[in-house]
A = this chain, B = another copy of it.
Amino acid sequence: MRHSQEVSRDVAEAAAALLDRLRSRSPRVHCITNAVAQNFTANALLAAGCVPSMTVSPEEIAQFVARSHALLVNLGTFDRERREATEIAVETARQDNVPWVLDPVFVDRAPPRAAFARDLVARAPTVVRLNHAEFAALAGADPTRAALVAYAREKRTTIGLSGETDLVTDGERVGTIANGHPLMAKVTAMGCAASALIAACLSVEQDAWRATTAALVMIGVAGELAAARAEGPASFAVAIIDALHNLDGPTLIAQARVN
Contact = CB atoms under 8 A, between A and B. Distances in A.
A46 interface: yes
A238 B232 CA distance: 9
Interface residues of A, number: 54
A172 interface: no
Contact of A64 (B35, B67, B109): B109
Interface string A228-253: 00111111011111111110000000
Count this chain's copies in the assembly. 3
A233 B237 contact: no
A112 interface: yes
A80 interface: yes
A188 B242 contact: no
Contacts of A64: 109-110
Contacts of A230: 242
Nearest to A75: B55
A110 B242 contact: no
Contacts of A231: 242, 246
Contacts of A112: 59-60, 63
The 4 A-B residue pairs with the shortest CB-CB distance, nearest first, are A232-B242, A234-B241, A42-B188, A60-B110
